[in-house]
Amino acid sequence: MLMQVGLQLLLSPLSSNIVVRTACCSVGVALPMYSTFKAIERKDPNEQQKWLVYWAAYGSFTLAEMITDKLIHCFKGPGTLRPERCAVSVRLMVDGGWFPLYYHMKFAFLVWLQLPSADGATQLYMNYLRPFLLRHQARLDYVVGFLYGEMDKFVATHQTELQFAKKVLASIVLAANQVMKEILRPGHKDVSRSIERPTELEEDSHPEHED
C-alpha cells in the first residue's frame, strides 16, 4: 500500500516539482553519502571502490547536465544566439517544457547507477569515462596542476586576509555559541530551582518534627 502511494506521488505531474526532485537528491546524494561513510568506517576496499566509481560517474553526469543546460539556453532557436539566456538554470528549462519528465528520467538513471543488478556506475565508468580520461590524462594533469598552483599562490598572497577571515569566523561562531547558551540557560535555572525547592522545604520541616 505504501509503495503504491509512493509511486503515485512520484509519477504525479502535480507533485513532480517537489517529490521527484527530493527523490533525486535523496537517491543521488544522501544515500550514496551515507553508504560511502559506512564503507570508509568498515574499511572495506570493495565497497570503497564501488562508491568511488559511483561518485566519478555522478560527477561526470552533473558536469554534463550543467554544460547541456547552458548550451540549450544560449539558443532561442536554430542558429539564434541568446547570451542573456545562458544564466537560466536547468530547473527553468525543465519546468518550461524543454524536456518533459526530465526529473523522472534522472531519478531512473540514478537508480540504475546504484542498482547492484545493473551496476550502471561501473558500466558508465569503464565504457565511457575511463577511456576518455585516459586519452586526455596528460592535458588534464597539466590543467589540474596549474589550478592547484594558482590556488597555492592565491593563498600565499592573501595569507593576511585569510587569517583575518578565519578570526572573524571564529568570533562569530563563539558569539553564536554564547547566545545559544544564554537562550538555554533560563530553562536550566528553572530546573535547578525546581529541584532545590523540595530540599529546602524538607530542611524547614525537620526542625518542626524535632520540636
50-91 pLDDT tens trace: 999 999 999 999 999 888 877 776 665 544 444 444 434 444
Residue 128 in this model has a pLDDT that exceeds 50: yes
Please state the domain extents for the chain: 2-135
In this prediction, residue 96 carries a pLDDT of 43
Which residues does 112 contact at the CB level (< 8 Å), separation at least 6?
A: 118, 120
77 bridge partner residues: 80
Residue 117 in this model has a pLDDT that exceeds 80: yes
In this prediction, residue 102 carries a pLDDT of 82
Q: What is the mean pLDDT of the chain?
A: 77
Residue 78 burial class via C-beta count within 10 angstroms: exposed 0-12, middle 13-18, buried 19 and up: exposed
Q: What is the pTM assigned to this prediction?
A: 0.62
- Determine the Cα–Cα distance for residues 111 and 41; give it in Å rounded to an integer: 24
